[in-house]
Structure 1
């Protein structure tokens, strides 16, 4: 027996479980709890322990099992858990999903199985109205997780390990060693299933458990305890940093057209420790879920602050872009619109691709115009007018400028983001660009006192 392992009798085990449920997992009497049960020793122990708490801490329990279809005899595990549910008089929920068939491109088997399993458990919880999904992760799992994340290059946030409570998931066995659980099962005369894949050293987590951790414990018998304690200290620190990130984002974050957006200068002024945590939160907010990111991914994002004024960083399932002083984070990069062109034959309204509305009216004078309006001498215009998006080589004579220039250079000088350039409609009379709608008019065909004018108004598309 390793020095770090303590064995508990039935009463002590139940007392510890109850303390963890009420405290760290925030479970209340009569809450509905779905237990994820593979049939292995850890989840069998969790199932029986929770059921035996009924007299002192009543819960509405459900047992759920997912057959990953990874072994020919996997159905035997499902039958075993079904028998457990019958013995414990618990509702049983079961599904079979061929994980190999639903793996995403570039996703390893372990990650795919975990994703599918968690989705299944969430679905069961939603169907039965459960407040919690109980998982059987234990103390050794926690040490492995911290070590695994460390060798993969996780930041300090990842070194906190698994959370006791990560709604809807709870982990009430996190401070109990698996040897204690197995000893308790044997004393209670309870059996479990052994998954042969747990001994497969081709799986990285198994190599950590069977090869790396034993060597660490040979150096220091308290290695597992020290790893777990390290994670707990990191969790305390990260609670503080999380509050700092919340406060910063409350001041700086805005959302526009599906992207999270902050000022590059404001982010760059943050101390590095805070800045890297802000990056992580931005990426998770944009993804709408937990994302598998390493410190290298965060460093790649951070380099945008010192890079070109318009640059991009592509991460797994995410895009980060710098557009002058704005940092944008989204699931995917904005797609440039295809070439389009429509004609305006006279006064009236014209719906443009993308949803914006262009209104044209004839008036005796221009009057006071808004930034989304422009007026031109009517007699100088060549109808039909053309409205289109920009093309390579477009040239423009901006009002107040020193002559004709490349439109691209005008945009760059005005620090117009690349995606916005493609979205701005251009109004042309013949070969002349008269107005970059919503941005700037040209010096051509200005209103003449006493002559009729054509007033154009751009009404931006209404976003759903």
Structure 2
């Protein structure tokens, strides 16, 4: 197994032989074998162990075992203790999810602070099969059937090539000691139920299950990459980046073969789950919205608009007199005196400085706001102005006003107010530029 492990590293992760590696070690047979293989392969490594304090004395015994293992391997070890149940309760997530978050957040911190290049975890072929089966049972797309990635950012899983049987045989052949987690025998956890009850039945039907699974997984990975390539080609044709997110041309989406599948690939990373509703937006009335936990898709005339969920930012920002550059969350304002009015882009206006009342205020628009649009006669409600300009919902939500006292000076990036316009009698012309 050692020669196969070294060959596997050399083929897929050759740079690890010259870099610092942090090994996640629980004390179980998988991580103990990984530690011994890395030591025998000559990697520069250290161990990291998480004590989640979930099994009382057993958790403490695991920690003591890992300390002894590090001593035997003559390598550095890092130990961290977590109040996992309290963390899970505070974030309202499962204990298993809490442990995962705590573990990987700490690993990332160690890697960045102590400059490790990679973090190795001991996931193996059986873990891969379990993960795919769990995803299949719960419902998933093709990406959920491709298994655990060999590399995910800084995390490397060099044992995915090997089965649990390979690992246990290696441990017995080399007379290695390890810890057994008693919770692994409990079927109250979904993963354990799959491992202990479902997979043995499948192995009865097909003793070569792992080999068959690996072949199928490889084919699915290739198909997944093909889909990714296809989506990367069509994305710039149907999507346009906007200040609020992206807009997608409905007419173009509807001409694509397998439109529903394409929309799944386009929007899956934004947390959407109601795919019939997402697809239905193509024929829905303008104003229809589909939400995920983080984003929303809006049907707007000829487009689908993808945005983050709107924040309830009702804060007001002030700009003092004589400030030349002001950086605010929505963008940067530049103020400078000029000698004459020039033709400019939408992000620049010229106003009579003496008509301004400082400090100026930048705020969101509100129902009932009105102004005197430059180039028009009389006043107009902001809401009516938006309607006439055919602004989308995200554009309205992201619109800010520059105000002097109670009066609107500028519907920023859209229209200035005529009351502050430069006239023949103007003595100081203020050039105001805005960059989102």
Q: Is the 8 A contact 2:338 2:431 kept in 1?
A: no
State the partner residue of 2:266: 278
1:458 aligns with 2:432: yes
Q: Secondary structure in 2 aligned to 1:23?
A: helix
Q: In structure 2, which of residues 287, 311, 315 is the aligned counterpart of residue 334 of structure 1?
A: 311
State the partner residue of 1:4: none
Q: Is the 8 A contact 2:124 2:159 kept in 1?
A: yes
State the partner residue of 2:349: 373
State the partner residue of 2:147: 161
Larger proportion of helix: 2
Shift of 1:336: 3.6
- Distance across 2 between alignment mates of 1:384 and 1:185: 76
Q: Is the 8 A contact 1:323 1:418 kept in 2?
A: no
State the partner residue of 1:77: 62
1:198 aligns with 2:184: yes
Q: Is the 8 A contact 1:438 1:458 kept in 2?
A: no
1:118 aligns with 2:104: yes
- Distance across 2 between alignment mates of 1:384 and 1:65: 59
Please tell me the root mean square deviation across aligned C-alpha atoms, in Å: 4.2
Flag the 1:186–1:334 CA change in 2: closer, same or farther, 3 A.
Answer: same
- Distance across 2 between alignment mates of 1:429 and 1:100: 53
Shift of 1:51: 2.3
Q: In structure 2, which of residues 30, 35, 39 is the aligned counterpart of residue 51 of structure 1?
A: 39
State the partner residue of 2:160: 174
Shift of 1:172: 2.1
The TM-score normalised by the length of structure 1 is 0.74
Deviations 1:67-120 (A, max 9, x none): 111111201011112212211222222211122222362321112212222223
Q: In structure 2, which of residues 23, 26, 29 is the aligned counterpart of residue 41 of structure 1?
A: 29
- Distance across 2 between alignment mates of 1:343 and 1:76: 63
Flag the 1:34–1:297 CA change in 2: closer, same or farther, 3 A.
Answer: farther
Flag the 1:410–1:190 CA change in 2: closer, same or farther, 3 A.
Answer: same
State the partner residue of 1:425: 401
Flag the 1:417–1:339 CA change in 2: closer, same or farther, 3 A.
Answer: farther
1:264 aligns with 2:264: no
Q: Is the 8 A contact 2:401 2:409 kept in 1?
A: no
Deviates more, 1:120-129 or 1:209-218: 120-129
Q: Is the 8 A contact 1:427 1:437 kept in 2?
A: no
- Distance across 2 between alignment mates of 1:387 and 1:52: 66
Q: Is the 8 A contact 1:334 1:419 kept in 2?
A: no
Q: Is the 8 A contact 1:142 1:228 kept in 2?
A: no
Shift of 1:396: 5.0
Q: Is the 8 A contact 2:28 2:179 kept in 1?
A: yes
Q: Is the 8 A contact 1:65 1:78 kept in 2?
A: yes
1:14 aligns with 2:13: no
Query: What stretches of structure 1 of length at least 5 have no aligned partner?
Result: 1-12, 284-292
Within a 5 Å distance, the mapping from 1:387-406 to structure 2 comes to 389=363, 390-395=365-370, 398=373, 405-406=380-381
State the partner residue of 1:207: 193
Q: Secondary structure in 2 aligned to 1:46?
A: helix
Q: Secondary structure in 2 aligned to 1:163?
A: coil
Query: What stretches of structure 2 of length at least 5 have no aligned partner?
Result: none
State the partner residue of 1:65: 49
- Distance across 1 between alignment mates of 2:319 and 2:429: 18
- Distance across 2 between alignment mates of 1:119 and 1:328: 30
Flag the 1:110–1:44 CA change in 2: closer, same or farther, 3 A.
Answer: same
Q: Is the 8 A contact 2:51 2:60 kept in 1?
A: yes
State the partner residue of 1:152: 138
Flag the 1:209–1:399 CA change in 2: closer, same or farther, 3 A.
Answer: same
- Distance across 1 between alignment mates of 2:36 and 2:73: 8
Q: Is the 8 A contact 1:146 1:158 kept in 2?
A: yes
